[in-house]
């Protein structure tokens, strides 16, 4: 699928989230994270079936992108996948991340904090939820070593909103960087998506009020039926 659509730069994306959680929209972060994570999980089901890609490693960062990953892991578990978490550093800022982790544990999702190389064993699919549109370099440990490992893996990677380590507006910071096979943009694609060369590009975030799209002059594709995601570019391999 190919179409023209708008992009949301880093500064505008930050303002957009602030507006969503302001009095004029009334959302709270927990709602937005649940909807975003669900849309990521649903996007994955469109291209990677639980039969062919049952074992999913979710790489969880310390911020909101990581929270989206925790939500996605839980939903994938309910969808019949066998997710596991690499969660080296918990967030100290938002208490409900502990609740998201507890929900995963209650779904019998294993959690690894230290040995990333072991996490890659018997893994069919990787969800990159380390860093989102708020990322600013430099990348520090333990994420630096993990991203280096992801650069060299042959396991397909699904990046949440922004491939970790990429500049939100400019794309990869060097000639290396991770190369996801799938990108799930959230709310609106970020400019770095123009440099995404993978097979599958989806958009998630079917919750934005019409007036917000108009206010930010966003032209986005319509979501089909009751789906929480829409394909921007794809080739099916189910």
| Residue 31 lies inside a defined structural domain of this protein | yes
The span from the CA of 225 to the CA of 70, in Å, is 26
| pLDDT tens digits along 124-153 | 999 999 998 877 778 889 999 999 999 999
- pLDDT grade for 221, boundaries at 50, 70 and 90: very high
Q: Is 136 labeled as ligand-binding?
A: yes
Q: Is 169 labeled as ligand-binding?
A: no
Closest to 121 (Cα-Cα) out of 176, 84, 91:
84
Q: Is 172 labeled as ligand-binding?
A: no
User: pTM score, two decimals?
Assistant: 0.94
Q: Is 174 labeled as ligand-binding?
A: no
* Averaged pLDDT, 110-118: 93
Q: Is 81 labeled as ligand-binding?
A: no
Q: Is 114 labeled as ligand-binding?
A: no
Q: Is 64 labeled as ligand-binding?
A: yes
Q: Is 63 labeled as ligand-binding?
A: no
Q: Please give the pLDDT value at position 91.
A: 74
| Residue 224 lies inside a defined structural domain of this protein | yes
| pLDDT tens digits along 154-186 | 999 999 999 999 999 998 887 678 999 999 999
Handedness of CA 77, 150, 97, 192 (dihedral sign): negative
Q: Please give the pLDDT value at position 105.
A: 98
What angle in degrees, to the nearest 10, is found between the helix axes of 96-106 and 29-47? 40
Question: For the chain, what is the domain count?
Answer: 1
The span from the CA of 43 to the CA of 193, in Å, is 16
Q: Give the residue numbers spanning the domain of 31.
A: 10-233
| Residue 91 lies inside a defined structural domain of this protein | yes
Q: Is 161 labeled as ligand-binding?
A: yes
Residue 98 sits in a domain whose CATH number is 3.40.50.10260
- pLDDT grade for 90, boundaries at 50, 70 and 90: confident
């Amino acid at each position: 699928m190919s179409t023209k659509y708008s992009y949301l730069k880093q500064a505008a994306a930050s303002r957009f989230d602030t507006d969503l959680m302001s009095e004029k929209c009334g959302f709270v972060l927990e709602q937005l994270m649940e909807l975003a994570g669900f849309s990521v999980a649903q996007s994955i089901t469109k291209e990677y079936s639980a039969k062919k890609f049952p074992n999913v490693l979710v790489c969880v960062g310390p911020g909101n992108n990581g929270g989206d990953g925790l939500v996605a892991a839980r939903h994938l578990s309910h969808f019949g996948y066998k997710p596991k978490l690499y969660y080296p550093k918990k967030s100290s800022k938002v208490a409900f991340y502990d609740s998201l982790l507890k929900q995963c544990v209650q779904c019998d999702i294993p959690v690894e904090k230290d040995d990333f190389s072991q996490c890659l064993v018997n893994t069919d699919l990787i969800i990159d939820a380390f860093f989102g549109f708020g990322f600013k370099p430099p990348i520090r440990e333990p994420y630096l070593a993990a991203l280096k490992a992801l650069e060299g893996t042959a396991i397909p990677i699904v990046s949440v909103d922004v491939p970790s380590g990429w500049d939100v507006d400019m794309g990869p910071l060097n000639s290396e960087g991770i190369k996801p096979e799938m990108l799930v943009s959230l709310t609106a694609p970020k400019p770095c998506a123009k440099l995404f060369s993978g097979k599958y590009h989806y958009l998630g975030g079917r919750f934005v009020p019409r007036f917000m799209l108009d206010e930010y002059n966003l032209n986005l594709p319509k979501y089909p039926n009751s789906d929480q995601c829409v394909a921007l570019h794809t080739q099916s391999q189910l």
